[in-house]
Amino acid sequence: MLQLFKKPAALSPVLATAPVTASSEPDLRAAVKSISHQSATMGREAAEVRGQLDDAIKVSARQAQAVAALAQQLQNITAAQADIRGVATGSLGAVGRARDAVGAVGEEVAGIVDSLRDVANAAGEITQIALQTRLVAFNASVEAKRAGEAGRGFGVVADAVKDLASKVEQSSKAIMSTVGQLDSRIAALSREIQVKADTVADQGAFHKALGDVESGVSSINAAADRSREVCEGLNGQMAQIETEMTRSSHALDSAMTRSEAFLKVSEHLIELVAECGLETEDTPFIRAVTDAAAQIGALLEDAVRSNAVTIADLFDEAYRPIAGTNPAQHTTRFVDLADRLFPQVQERVLEAHAKAVFCIAVDRNGYVATHNKVYCNPQRGDLAWDTANSRYRRIFNDRTGLASARNERPFLLQTYRRDMGGGKFVMLKEAAAPITVNGRHWGGLRLAFNF
């Protein structure tokens, strides 16, 4: 139906008034306005849906990354639990070896106790011999005294033997005392380290301690096993979640593609309405953007002609990052020229239309050398503020930005949701027209406005 409203291209420019009869003009205008209004509404809703789908896709992507990171952490935990079990099992083996070694020492200690007891018995026998020797020496001394002068020498010997026997007796008793003390201590040590075949309560303190260590290590093993089972269950659930999220991501991508097609239909319908030649609410902006694009193109051609810039510099695509900027800003060889020439056109268009939000010239890759003055503020280090207020020297290569930058038709109308930073978005309609320099497509002029 809209094709009936379109006039042949040879008759007049795109936005010239189409010839209609006096009787049909009111009906045609009413129909076009209705279609224009419905197209704008449909475009707005489509853009809103697309924006929400885009948000959902980004959230889904972040969730997928979080789930993948969590799955990796669970795998790391499972590996750590396996390591814990391995170390704990090794500890149990070490405790067993320590028990065996200590048990062997206990047996040796028992042998030492037996040897000490033999020494004590020998010392006791020596003591008995010393007592008997003293008794014999005493009797000899008595007999020597009875013998008078003849037995005096024998008496001296008897006294010496008696003294020696007394010393031997004292030494033997000291040996017996020391051996007794050693016997008590070693026997106590033997009781502590020897393994008994009775209950745990009957075991020595050392083996009780080893038993406690074994019990603790066994508990660690059991806890690690339970934790591993839980992690394995979580890994299974995470795998299911990842599968579901992948499906959800595919579904969102499919919905985004469908919404994109729907949005293109609405935008094409808006363009058809605009091309009918009848005045619509978009006509002033289409006319303004095509005129401004021609003015920018003429300024650039003059700059090339006057050697203010070379073609190579004007079409420079070696975007050099500006250090420390976030969002990232870049510079090129034509930014100084853009700063001198673009504002006079951009600001005039912006001031001429109350609904206009911005008017900017971009190269074919969406690079904005010079934005409107209100958005050409140096960055402060506040991401939300910088995103909304420091928009120059940036590359906007999103769907809308690239479509406007690379469009070579007389004009392009789009509807989209603009990110203002800090989670804030605004719905805009945008008219764009190509900028050419000596017949070569340089980029486009973007004029966004509220509707």
Same domain flag for 108 and 39? no
Of 209, 228, 247, the residue that ends a domain is: 228
Same domain flag for 157 and 291? no
Same domain flag for 367 and 339? yes
Same domain flag for 303 and 379? yes
327 upstream amide cis, omega within 30 of 0: yes
Same domain flag for 181 and 135? yes
Same domain flag for 287 and 426? yes
274: how many CB neighbours lie within 10 A of its CB? 25
Same domain flag for 220 and 274? no
Residue 241 lies in a domain: no
**Which phi and psi (to 5°) does residue 366 adopt?**
85, 15
Same domain flag for 78 and 215? yes
Q: How far apart are CA 436 and CA 359, in angstroms?
A: 17
User: How many residues are listed for the chain in this entry?
Assistant: 451
Residue 139 lies in a domain: yes
Residue 121 lies in a domain: yes
Residue 2's pLDDT is: 39
The candidate with the shortest Cα–Cα distance to 376, out of 364, 386, 362, is: 386
For each of the chain's 451 residues, which pLDDT tens digit applies? 334 334 333 333 444 444 445 555 666 666 666 666 666 666 666 666 666 666 677 677 777 777 777 777 767 777 776 777 777 677 767 777 776 766 667 666 667 767 767 777 776 777 777 677 767 767 777 776 777 776 666 666 767 776 766 777 777 777 777 777 777 777 676 666 665 555 555 566 666 776 777 777 777 877 777 777 777 777 777 777 777 777 777 776 776 676 666 566 666 666 666 666 667 788 899 999 999 999 999 999 999 999 999 999 999 999 999 999 999 999 999 999 999 999 999 999 999 999 999 999 999 999 999 999 999 999 999 999 999 999 999 999 998 899 999 999 999 988 887 776 566 778 888 999 999 999 999 999 999 999 7
Q: How far apart are CA 327 and CA 392, in angstroms?
A: 10
Same domain flag for 308 and 404? yes
Same domain flag for 354 and 205? no
Token readout for 315 is 């079409």
45: how many CB neighbours lie within 10 A of its CB? 16
Residue 29 lies in a domain: yes
The candidate with the shortest Cα–Cα distance to 342, out of 378, 292, 405, is: 292
Q: How far apart are CA 278 and CA 29, in angstroms?
A: 7
Read off the DSSP letter of residue 19. Answer: P
245: how many CB neighbours lie within 10 A of its CB? 17
Using a 10 angstrom Cβ sphere, with 0-12 exposed, 13-18 middle and 19 or more buried, the burial of residue 338 is buried
Residue 354 lies in a domain: yes
| CATH assignment at residue 203 | 1.10.287.950
Cα distances (Å, whole numbers) of residue 255 to 52, 64, 249, 259: 11, 18, 10, 6
| CATH assignment at residue 331 | 3.30.450.20
Q: How far apart are CA 87 and CA 94, in angstroms?
A: 10
Residue 48's pLDDT is: 64
384: how many CB neighbours lie within 10 A of its CB? 12
Token readout for 36 is 């224009």
Would the pTM of this model clear 0.75, i.e. be above it? no
Residue 192 lies in a domain: yes
Domain of residue 357 covers: 2-56+259-449
Same domain flag for 140 and 213? yes
Residue 264 lies in a domain: yes
Same domain flag for 288 and 423? yes
Token readout for 45 is 């809703």
Residue 173 lies in a domain: yes
Number of domains in the chain: 2
- Cα–chain center distance at 429: 38
The candidate with the shortest Cα–Cα distance to 437, out of 370, 337, 356, is: 337
Amino acid at 412: L
Residues 6+ apart with CB under 8 A from 303: 309, 314, 337, 341
